[in-house]
Structure 1
Amino acid sequence: MASGVGSTTSSTSTASTSTAKGDAQQIAGNFTQFLTLLTTQLKNQNPLDPMDTNQFTQQLVQFAQVEQQLKGNDRLDSILTNAKAASAASATSFIGQTVTSDGKTAQLKDGSATWNLTPARAVSKATITILDAKGNVVGTQTKSLTTGSQTFSWNGRNSAGLSATEGQYTLKIDAFDATGQSVSVDTAVSGRVDGVDLSGSEPVLAIGASRVPVSSVRSISSELST
């Protein structure tokens, strides 16, 4: 079981936040400096030879633009904060649900690992190679695939007939149609969400030892299909 909702901000996120604050402070400093210079200039100008009207207008326009930029940055920061909060709240609703997401790596647990395969067209011969986390070949199967989505299940037995250890396993598929042409096979995995990691820029779902970005989720259900 993975840990619950993570809330630790990553170093990358911290660096980005620090940079944004630094930029805002720099703009604010320039804004204050500009206002000081403008008021000083107005106080010390020669009444008999006042500032050119066009120049004064241009400076006022610059003053307004800087002020608008500061207010715009504040509003954007507020919108971003609200969007992140909404995304985090939405992601936590995945906990306890079963999701199907893009990917070739599934968790072997209780002697079973399952993938969803969707070939571009009917496959007369597909060589399915199962690899462990280190890239070693654990087993190989050859079968045909029909058009459309279908389930491929592995019972956890390696090529020697022994039970493989629980963990993550990846599929490699070489598929060909009846004419010998290569066929692409889309692969997805399903699993129950145990927790959500909110430390990065995008919420990541914890499914056993696997980590799945929310953007990779294709479907959600209350339980695994049988």
Structure 2
Amino acid sequence: MIDGVSGASASGMSGNRQTIAENFDTFLQLLTAQLKNQNPLEPLDSNEFTAQLVQFTSVEQALKTNEFLEAMMLSGQNANNAQAVSYIGKTVTASGATTDLTEEGAAWLYRIDEPAPNTTITVRDQAGNTVFTEKVSLEAGTGRYGWNGQSSSGETMPLGRYTVTIDARNSSGALVPATTQMMGIVEAVDVSGAEPYLTVSGLRLPLSAVTTVQSTPVSGGS
């Protein structure tokens, strides 16, 4: 998978090249037959013959251009694959509001452009049920919100996938746009499709959604 070019695009270009090649061969056959069967007393007009040669050259150039573009596409795909594979074991942040609750809890990164003292944070399970709600005051900029996995009633929620919603409001009650990101360790990379997908805490994320990559701290020690 990796690429910046989809498999469908690559196969499409290959098909186009094949079509051009077939037309190119047909053109050669017709031109050869025309030269062999022309009337010696009325030879092919030089201007018309020159125009055909120009067309011949244009078709040949189209073939070479397509081959060059295909080579560039493959090179880009290989570079993207290598980049994606290098993320395995790294901690990444990616656009999105869904992450996994582990034994250490769950965490999201957020960004708001102005202070939001009247903010409501809501956590929902995979079925969309609200399990936790909290009123908080957020400062402008980038921050981290952590959830310990307990519901609003104090019940310990099962490990799994949860989604956060940040309803940020300023002192006047006006909505403040907020963006959220999830964080986790890359466990695997799928390069079988048009774009590489990273598996982070069981979630499949497109490579394009990744915003930061960093080394994963080594836990434990002697």
TM over 0.5: yes
- Aligned: 1:61 with 2:54: yes
> Hey, what does 1:182 align to over in structure 2?
175
Equivalent residue in structure 2 for 1:214, among 188, 207, 210: 207
Q: Distance in 2 between matches of 1:22 and 1:214?
A: 28
Q: Distance in 2 between matches of 1:216 and 1:26?
A: 36
Cα offsets for 1:7-44 (capped at 9, x unmatched): 69xxx83x555444332222111110100000110111
Q: What does residue range 22-37 of structure 1 map to in structure 2 within 5 Å? A: 22-37=15-30
Cα deviation for residue 115 of structure 1 reads 0.5
Q: Which moved more, 1:21-30 or 1:32-41?
A: 21-30
Q: Percent identity?
A: 43
TM-score computed with the length of structure 1 as normaliser: 0.89
TM-score computed with the length of structure 2 as normaliser: 0.90
Uncovered stretches (5+) of structure 1, i.e. residues with no partner: 1-6
Q: Distance in 2 between matches of 1:177 and 1:75?
A: 55
> Hey, what does 1:113 align to over in structure 2?
106
> Hey, what does 1:4 align to over in structure 2?
none
> Hey, what does 2:14 align to over in structure 1?
21
Where in structure 1 do 4 or more consecutive aligned residues deviate above 6 Å? none
Cα offsets for 1:87-110 (capped at 9, x unmatched): 101111111110111111111011
Q: Distance in 2 between matches of 1:17 and 1:56?
A: 35
Q: Distance in 2 between matches of 1:78 and 1:31?
A: 21
Q: Distance in 1 between matches of 2:33 and 2:191?
A: 49
Q: How many residues are paired up?
A: 214
Cα deviation for residue 61 of structure 1 reads 0.8
Cα deviation for residue 78 of structure 1 reads 1.2
- Aligned: 1:195 with 2:188: yes
One-letter identity of the residue aligned with 1:207 = V
**What is the aligned-residue RMSD (CA, Å)?**
1.8
Q: Distance in 2 between matches of 1:83 and 1:27?
A: 24
Partner of 1:34, secondary structure, is helix
One-letter identity of the residue aligned with 1:193 = V
> Hey, what does 1:134 align to over in structure 2?
127
| Contact preservation (8 Å) 1:111, 1:163 | no
Q: Distance in 2 between matches of 1:116 and 1:210?
A: 16
Partner of 1:139, secondary structure, is strand
Cα deviation for residue 159 of structure 1 reads 2.3
| Contact preservation (8 Å) 2:99, 2:201 | no
Cα offsets for 1:18-74 (capped at 9, x unmatched): 444332222111110100000110111112211111111111111111111111111
Uncovered stretches (5+) of structure 2, i.e. residues with no partner: 218-222
